[in-house]
A and B are shown apart, each in its own frame.
Chain A
Amino acid sequence: MSLSVKEKTVVNWVLRALKLLICIFVVVASISSRLFAVVKFESIIHEFDPWFNFRATKLLTETSFYNFLNWFDSRTWYPLGRVTGGTLYPGLMTTASLIWNILHKIGIPIDIRNVCVLFAPIFSSLTAWATYKLASDIKDTRTGLLAAAFIAIVPGYISRSVAGSYDNEAIAITLLMLTFMFWIKSIKTGSILHTIGASLCYFYMVSAWGGYVFITNLIPFHVFCLLLMGRYSNQIYVSYTTWFVLGTVASMQIPFVGFLPIRSNDHMSALGIFGLLQIVAFGNFIKKSYSQNNNNSNSNGNLKKVMVFSFLAVCILGILLLILATYLGLIAPWTGRFYSLWDTNYAKIHIPIIASVSEHQPVAWPAFFFDTHFLIWLFPVGVTLLFSELKNEHVFIIVYSVLCSYFAGVMVRLMLTLTPVICIASSVALSQLFDTYLNFYDLFKFWQNGSSSRQNSTNKDTKLNFFKFLSKLIVSGSFIFYLYIFVYHCTWVTQNAYSSPSVVLPSQTPDGKMALIDDFREAYYWLRMNTDEDSKVAAWWDYGYQIGGMADRTTLVDNNTWNNTHIALVGKAMASNEDRAYEIFNELDVDYVLVVFGGLLGFGGDDLNKFLWMIRISEGIWPDEVNERSFFSTTGEYRVDSSATQVMKDSIMYKMSYHNFPYLYGENSGGVDHVRQQLIKPEDVGDLKRFHEVFTSENWMIRIYKLNERDNEGRDSEFSVFKNKSVANDNNSNVEGVDGSRRRRRRRRQQYSLLDASELRI
């Protein structure tokens, strides 16, 4: 049966309309599912790093781009300050501020906060489009549409791109896919236009995320594999050399990157492949001209030997040069994060600060399923299918999936770079399956020939094979069912796991209504409103960005973690006794000390649970003064109750966390720490003599203390007007009222135990 021209046009139009409709749906799905965070909570910047990005973007909208690049921030890392403009990736902020400016120009004076909040959802729709194009190049448009739909709603990507998650990754994944999309196109066509696209996207990626090194290594690796497979072609030569030269020169324009592309080991593979490619090209040229002149098979064999030998020699020479240059200090060695990629124990031993970050931990197995659902088992199928055809672009996907599977296994955050390739490979597998099993052409044909075939039952072509039909129905039906479950799972995960801003904790009132535990903002806002503008706040580095963004006060350390010693100093103060801590804080000009205490609510991510890391980090610098062992009880446990060691009880972290806490439940009964499930008695918690409480949030999650001021003669707290009050003798305590609120809080508690206290026992 053949279609007329007119019918063909109609079919084409229908197909195009369908494709457009699906694309629109994908875009709508990708944006709307990320808006759960706004609908459930509010338009707010999430977590920690986004607060810095937001602060920087706000600054960029208020000043010029060059001022922004020259930004020296004296309000962080006090008293050192930070050359912020030169040590950040400006891509994200520049893009957001550009969008903001354009919107203002066209008469939409939207608030910069809303631009930042909605940034990730908008860019995720772009990612879906780039994935569509990329996957279409891998197989066909059907695969592309499936891949776009997958990437639009897959939790592994949503986890870092919900509304409010204004982090570098929000734009970086989009750029990653765009770069790869252009790279595949240029490998296929050898078009310089596409390669320039790839280089520009790569440059944009460099300006936006430190993870650009992944592209810097993946593309050369792809080319290397193609060379090893003997697939050298002029397209590869044109693509790679153009990309490398343009991309490298462009990337060096970013101040934070600077000369790294020619000085750092992370970038050497790209340079090596560039050199190798020249040699291969030259060899190929000689081979071509040689074989044109000589058709002798013997000389061809010799040539091959020469080629292989020189290839090996160049490789070995290159590696030797690399080692020599590193040894001589011409090239910077690999960074700590890089080493921890290969040796998972490296960070724990050498750089505790990297190991202390939860997103640098290895992935738990269930997380793969949680983040990608049924795609995780379709993924290897897709990769296997690609092997059967093994075109150049297929090699790329294979290389990408192998490398990233390993990386994702080492670090949780790299799950993000694995997710796109999972989507692409799975869509290859699924579309292959649907090509076969969702093809009900026979059935239509049967119906069309209905009456005539029944009259002539011997005609095999028009006879419907019932079992073939049934098997198609079962296979396609079950996969459509999987798709349905997948969508359901993604929505559920997005709604319940990835939409919480983590600045605000969701909770329920006794009558089932949603309530927010808003202690962080309560305390930060108190700081902002009621302390001097140039007050210095000492807190663990996790809260640095938030204090800078929300409380707008000077911090000692923040999430940038560029100076390990400074962090260790704060850790040391927290682990020291009151006198020593007072001395350290005074030297650092500190006015307020902020600690996070989850004991009342059962919030597991509090400072006492992070305390061991503070001790370890400061022990790394001052092993004589801080000793991890002295914080463990005689049985080797991390205790906070009566059996805690004296060193533990004397540390200001302990005192500040539990100050007044045991009296909350009555005079002498003591209070149960709901995170560590231990009873804290009044006699365990020593009085504070050199600090006094100035604020504690509603659920006691944030506690702020002020250093007692020295008097005119330089004498400190002993003579200070601020004396610590002992409430033990206060007969007015309204125990009943306090107990009532305790019961309510217990009900809330379970949801927030982010870290099981038992993990801390050794």
Chain B
Amino acid sequence: MLLTKQSLTVFVLLLVQLIGTFAQGILPSGWENIKLTRELDLQHTFTVESFQLTIKNIADKPLKQYFIPIPKQLRDQLSTITASLSKNTDALLNCYVSDTLNTLEDGTVLSYGVVELPTPLQPGKEIDIVARIFYNIAGIPYPSKIKIGEVQQLYFSTNRLPLSPYSTLEGRLLVKTKSDVKEDNKPEDQFLQGTFNDDTNTLEFGPWYDIKPYTVSNVDLIYKHVPALKEVINLQRDIWVAHWASTIQFEEYYELTNKGVGLTDGFSRLEFMKRSQLAQFGMIPWIHILEMSLPEQATEHFCTDKVGMVSTTDVVGDTFYIKPRFPIFGGWFYNFTIGWTNPLNQFLQRYENDDETFLLTVPILNGPQDTVYDNVNVTIYLPEGAELLDAGSPVSYKSISTAHEHSYFDMKEGHVKLTFEFKNLFTDIGKADLLVKYRYSKAALYKKPLSIAAYFFSALMGFFVIRSLNLSINN
């Protein structure tokens, strides 16, 4: 069981993107895109850009690195890059973001995502790759404000023709949305226009042939997007491991906002009540209910905010439903804290040959569906006296740090505190597990209650001594 988990982890670890050091000013070259299909998925709060590539080495030496351009302004919102060979989508390739910046003639500044092939490709050979880039962005509301009851529309601007450092023989663009999508300011050239496919809710452009490297051409898309755009600006996720109670406690503090459409006339409760039935079908651009998918067997759920308990919560199966104090319209904010408890053995494994060393595997996120996270801090608190051996994450993190934190009855150095700092996460990526290996000796385990008992005993003895003192001047 443990081995399978470990091998899985190693496998997932391939996802890790390293910030490569790439010599400035050297332009990528040497490849030719035989076929490039770029698919833009705008159905969620985050955006997925997939490339289906057939590429050919036209250089005179074997090549290993393939470059995918990323507009500079999107680099800060980039969540992750994955790539695989088309014939084996299970084996992920190594990907990272290059430091190279390239300014084009029209002023566009490009950065690059780099896909590394498992082995260098010989000149003249072709290979099929599938690459996906996840961005922590969505369309912006268009118009930015509407009345309650009107439909939310989003605006998204992107490149029409394939933008690549290499020349492209055949290129296509597909835009996938939840409902219909149309182009704003359509060009007159029929060749450039797209056609909408009702069955797949996809706007299909192309094919175009023989496109030069670095061809910049814009397309403005407007599409209906009914659900709210949930964005967690900050998430502080605390995970407390308790060996004596044999539980693991989760506590999460969210700073949530809706980056969707705002209200023109302020909030009218009357108008809102008239349209309250829409909420039942989820046909609303405001956040009405948050559905947190928790681990199985979670108990002792709670939800509070800065003014106390939120009483409008419910637990059905593994989902924790929270109705915020007020509906969260575009531009509104809501901070809250939730927590729950799970049995420890669900997340903790003991090594077979060493019963004092443990491996903890906890999911990175447990938040609501279809949500993006700007900053996430996951803090794991190990018991006082535990010794941290190793820690890892399948998702790239900004920083990792250790410290100590005093909690209940911690009289010495306190709980061991391990903090991962992430940027730009989204719901699906949160299913990955963090791994923490630590040693917690039997001595440390028993020292805790004994020291608490000793404190109580000395306090009682002190009281007894004070009671026995006689300071009266009569005798």
Binding site for B on A (CB under 8 A): 41-44, 106-109, 503-504, 515-516, 518, 521-522, 524-526, 528-530, 550, 660, 663-664, 692-698, 700, 706, 722-723, 725, 727, 730, 732-734, 737-738, 741
The 8 Å CB contact of B276, one of A503, A692, A737, is A737
CA distance A169 to B448 in the complex (A): 40
Contact yes or no, B267 A738, CB < 8 A: no
Q: State whether A107 and B325 are in contact (beta carbons under 8 Å apart), knowing that A692-B265, A737-B277 are contacts in the complex.
A: no
Q: Are A694 and B273 in contact (CB under 8 A)?
A: no
Q: A722 to B270, alpha carbons, bound, how many Å?
A: 17
Contacts of A697 in B (CB 8 A): 269, 326
Least CB separation from B310: chain A residue: A518
**Known pairs A530-B333, A692-B265, A722-B265; A525 contacts B270 (CB<8 A):** no
Which residue of chain A has its CB nearest to the CB of B305?
Answer: A525
A734 to B279, CA, bound (A): 14
Tell me, in angstroms, the Cα distance from A759 to B197 when the chains sit together: 69
Q: Are the CB atoms of B308 and A734 closer together than 8 Å? A: no
Q: Are A700 and B269 in contact (CB under 8 A)?
A: yes
* Cβ contacts under 8 Å, A504 to chain B: 308, 311
- Beyond A515-B311, A518-B311, A734-B277, 12 additional contacts (C-beta under 8 Å) are A42-B309, A44-B308, A107-B408, A109-B408, A518-B312, A529-B332, A529-B333, A530-B332, A664-B273, A694-B266, A723-B265, A734-B273
Partner of B311, one of A516, A528, A529, A530: A516
* Contact (Cβ within 8 A) B265 A525: no
Q: Which residues of B contact A733 (CB under 8 A)?
A: 274
Complex interface: chain A residues within 8 A of B277 (CB): 734, 737
Give Cα distance in the complex from A109 to B274, angstroms. 47
Q: For the complex, is B407 an interface residue (Cβ under 8 Å from A)? A: yes
Chain B 399-428: CB-based contact to A (< 8 A → 1; otherwise 0) = 000000011111100000000000000000
Closest Cβ of chain B: how far from A97's Cβ, in Å?
18
A626 to B305, CA, bound (A): 42
A107 and B326 contacting across the interface, CB-CB below 8 Å: no
- Name the contact of B267 in the complex, choosing from A41, A525, A694, A730 (C-beta under 8 A): A694
CA of A503 to CA of B325 in the docked complex: distance in angstroms?
A: 14
With a cutoff of 8 Å between Cβ atoms, the chain A residues found around residue B265 in the complex are 692, 722-723, 725
Cβ–Cβ contact A738 & B274, under 8 A: yes
Q: Are A526 and B326 in contact (CB under 8 A)?
A: yes
Q: How far is the CA of A546 from the CA of B277 in the complex (A)?
A: 33
Give Cα A698–Cα B311 distance, bound, in whole angstroms.
14
Among candidates A109, A694, A734, residue contacting B275 with C-beta atoms closer than 8 Å:
A734
CB pair B273 A737 closer than 8 Å: yes
Task: Give chain A residues whose Cβ lies under 8 Å from the Cβ of B274.
Answer: 730, 732-734, 737-738
Interface core residue of B274, B312, B408, B455 (most chain A CB under 10 Å): B274
Given A664-B270, A737-B273, A737-B274, A695 and B410 touching (CB < 8 A)? no
> Bound state CA distance, A526 and B311, in angstroms?
16
Interface: B450 (CB within 8 A): no
Query: Which of B275, B307, B408 meets A524, CB within 8 Å?
Result: B307
How many CB-defined contacts (below 8 Å) exist between A and B?
102
Output the least CB separation between B158 and chain A (Å): 32
State the B residues within 8 Å of A (CB). 149, 265-271, 273-277, 305-309, 311-312, 325-326, 331-335, 406-411, 455
Most buried by A among B308, B406, B455: B308
Give A692 Cβ to nearest chain B Cβ, in Å.
5
A504 CA to B335 CA in the complex, in Å? Answer: 20
B273's nearest neighbour on chain A, judged by CB, is: A738
Closest 7 CB pairs of A and B: A696-B269, A42-B309, A694-B266, A660-B270, A529-B333, A522-B325, A44-B308
Expressed in whole angstroms, the Cα–Cα distance for A733 and B334 within the complex equals: 29
Residues of A contacting B268 with CB < 8 Å? 660, 693, 696, 725, 727
A695:B307 contact, CB within 8 angstroms: no
Residues of A close to B331: CB separation below 8 A? 530
Report B410 CB to chain A, min CB distance, Å: 6
B408 to chain A: which residues have CB within 8 Å?
A: 107-109
A-B contact pairs, 30 of them (CB 8 A): A42-B308, A42-B309, A44-B308, A107-B455, A109-B406, A109-B407, A504-B308, A518-B311, A518-B312, A524-B307, A525-B306, A529-B333, A529-B335, A530-B331, A530-B333, A692-B266, A693-B266, A693-B269, A695-B326, A697-B269, A725-B268, A727-B270, A727-B271, A730-B274, A732-B274, A734-B276, A734-B277, A737-B276, A737-B277, A741-B273
Contact A529 B270 (CB under 8 A): no
> Of residues B275, B305, B307, which shows the largest number of chain A Cβ atoms within 10 Å of its Cβ?
B307
Q: How far is the CB of B129 from chain A (nearest CB, A)?
A: 45
Is the beta-carbon distance between A108 and B409 smaller than 8 angstroms?
yes
Residues A521 and B308 in contact in the complex (CB < 8 Å), given A529-B332, A692-B265, A695-B267: yes
Neighbouring A residues of B305 by C-beta, 8 Å: 525
Nearest to A108 among chain B residues (CB) is B408
Cα distance, A696 to B263, chains bound together (Å): 14
- In the complex, the chain B residue whose C-beta lies closest to that of A45 is B308
User: A722 vs B145: C-alpha distance in the bound complex, in angstroms?
Assistant: 13
CB distance from B267 to the nearest CB of A (A): 5
Which of A522, A529, A727 has the largest count of B CB atoms less than 10 A from its CB? A529
Q: Measured between alpha carbons, how far is A107 from B413 in the docked complex, in Å?
A: 11
Given that A516-B311, A734-B275, A737-B276 are contacting pairs, would A528 and B306 also be in contact in the complex, using a CB cutoff of 8 Å?
yes
- CB closest chain-B residue, reference A733: B274
Minimum CB–CB distance for B413 against chain A, Å: 12
> Complex: how many Å from CA A732 to CA B278?
13
Tell me which residues across on chain B come within 8 A of A528, comparing CB atoms. Answer: 306-307
Residue of A nearest to B325 (CB): A522
Residues of B near A694 (CB, < 8 A) are 266-267
A246 to B312, CA, bound (A): 54
